Amino acid sequence: MSSSVTLLVTGASTGLLAGGASCAAVQGGLLAGAVTRRRTHAAAAPRPGGIASQAKGRPKGATASATLPKAAAPAPAPKPLAPVGAFLAGKLLSHTVLGALLGIFGNALQPSPRVQAVLLLAAGALMVLFALDLFGVKAVGRLVPRPPASFRRLMRRSARTGSVATPALIGFATVLVPCGVTLSMELLAITSGSPVAGAAVMAGFVIGTAPLFALLGYLFRRSAQALSGRLAVLTGVVVLAVAVWTMGSALQAGGWVSFTAPAQQASASGPFIVEKVEGGEEDGDPAAPGGGTAGADAPPVRIDAAGKQIVTLTVTDFYEPTGFTAKAGVPTTLVLHGKDSGGCARAFTIPELGVQEIVKRNGDTEIDLGTRKPGTLRFSCAMGMQTGAVAFQ
């Protein structure tokens, strides 16, 4: 349950910081159609007892003002956020169901870290196209994926109706038109390997995007024509920034590059403490089994009595430390020490080795790295936002 709550928070924070603008670029047209056309329909509909109904009983030559009641009560104005709320409710339902299905799928087949990274790169490139399209660059118009024509016609026909259910149905259908950041959340739902966790991350993502969608929906209801051009440019700028962030994270998630400056990395270069088979005080805590260091007092890099190298990475909401220097040519085990771990850091990957592990919230997870040759082995969270490396020398 704790991992599901963590993924819910991860999805919500991603939706709030990055997903809203990206999804608005792709699904904003559906939102506008759901709220503005319903408003137009409501405004055009004749009111009971209004001019249209009273015209039948008006004597020939009589004026409209003569037949209207003096104290005619105006029709109540539609609530601006009612259709927006219905749209978001439908979207929340469809994405939660999708997340559960992706979690079931991921339990049977999980993509490797580098396959995920390639998909994230593709999502970032797609967002660049969306941003350029919002800027009005005609050359990319044909390259931007669009919903099928039959789907667009169906949505247009649905949006013309005044039913309260129409915005909800359109919101539900947005699952068929995913935005770039949504793809990364879908990948996270797959890697969760659980229907509950998958549903949590997708529901959290929609909840995170809700504030921006609510604001856009309100603006569309009030002054869509006056603001549409400015909103398109502003949204394009945000989407372009999110695209750069997504592609940078993908490069780190694939283990190809690291944008963390070496000077900012905490080096754990030793000393290489050798644990003894039997008691002794010169090599650590004499109370520890075998006289060696253990637990919280153990150094980040050490060699046990059997000659195996132990590299310990502490995982909280971050990785501590992020840089290690270890000996090459020595059998090595990486220990992921969960210490109230949470967030994206729990989804630990080593792209070069295809390793994917969900770190225990509190406890140790061991990964056999084998006998490494000199070189750098990079690790990261599943989304490439937190990285580190082990330099074997």
Q: Could you tell me the CATH number of the domain that includes residue 344?
A: 2.60.40.420
Whole-number pLDDT of residue 18:
64
Determine the pLDDT at residue 314. 94
Same structural domain, 106 and 213 = yes
Pull the structure tokens for residue 93. 């339902």
Query: Residue for token digits 């247009």?
Result: 156
Per-residue pLDDT of the chain (393 residues; tens, 9 = 90+): 446 776 788 778 777 766 676 676 667 666 766 665 444 444 444 545 444 444 445 555 555 444 444 444 554 444 556 778 888 899 999 999 999 999 898 777 767 888 878 877 877 787 788 778 778 888 887 776 665 666 556 655 655 555 657 778 878 887 876 665 676 678 778 777 789 988 998 999 899 888 887 877 777 666 545 445 566 677 677 777 777 887 888 899 899 988 876 544 544 555 455 555 444 444 444 334 333 444 556 689 999 988 999 999 999 988 999 999 999 999 999 999 999 887 778 889 999 999 988 898 899 999 999 999 999 999 998 878 889 999 999
Give me the pLDDT at residue 65, please: 45
What pLDDT, on the 0 to 100 scale, is given for residue 272? 55
DSSP string, 147-192: --HHHHHHHHHHHTS--THHHHHHHHHGGGS--HHHHHHHHHHHHH
How many domains would you assign to the chain?
Answer: 2
CA–CA distance from 271 to each of 36, 302, 309, 325, 374 (Å)? 67, 7, 12, 10, 18
Residue 71 lies in a domain: no
Q: Are residues 201 and 273 in the same domain?
A: no
Residue 53 is predicted with a pLDDT of 45
Q: Given 231, 253, 275, which residue is the final one in a domain?
A: 253
Domain membership of residue 246 (yes or no) is: yes
Q: Which residues contact 108 (CB under 8 A, 6 or more apart)?
A: none
- Whether residues 359 and 274 fall in one domain: yes
Strand pairing class (355-358; 267-268): unpaired
Same-domain status, 20 and 146: yes
In a 10 Å sphere around its CB, with 0-12 CB exposed, 13-18 middle and 19+ buried, how is residue 176 labelled? exposed
Task: Give domain status of residue 63, yes or no.
Answer: no
Q: Look at residues 253, 271, 295 and tell me which one is the last residue of a structural domain.
A: 253
Nearest of 320, 314, 324 to residue 393 by alpha carbon: 324
Residues 236 and 316 in one domain: no
Question: For residue 281, which amino acid is it?
Answer: E
| Residue 195 domain flag | yes
Does residue 67 fall inside a structural domain? Answer: no
pLDDT value for 327: 93
As a residue count, the chain comes to 393
247 shares a domain with 105:
yes
Domain check: are 194 and 244 in the same one? yes
C-alpha span between 345 and 387 (Å, rounded)? 9
Instruction: Count the neighbouring beta carbons within 10 Å of the beta carbon of residue 39.
Output: 18
Where does a domain end: 253, 284, 311? 253
Do 347 and 316 have their domain in common?
yes
Do 356 and 274 belong together in one domain?
Answer: yes
Domain, as residue range, for 276: 262-392
> Is residue 140 in some structural domain?
yes
In a domain, 236, yes or no: yes
Write out 72-129 in H/E/C secondary structure.
Answer: CCCCCCCCCCHHHHHHHHHHHHHHHHHHHHHHHHHHHCCCCHHHHHHHHHHHHHHHHH
pLDDT at position 28 is 66
Q: What pLDDT score was predicted for residue 138?
A: 83
Claim to verify: residue 236 and residue 107 sit in the same structural domain: yes
* 229 in the same domain as 201: yes
Do 209 and 268 lie in a common domain? Answer: no
| Measured distance CA(130)–CA(133) in Å, rounded | 5
Is 55 a domain residue? no
Q: What is the pLDDT of residue 142?
A: 75
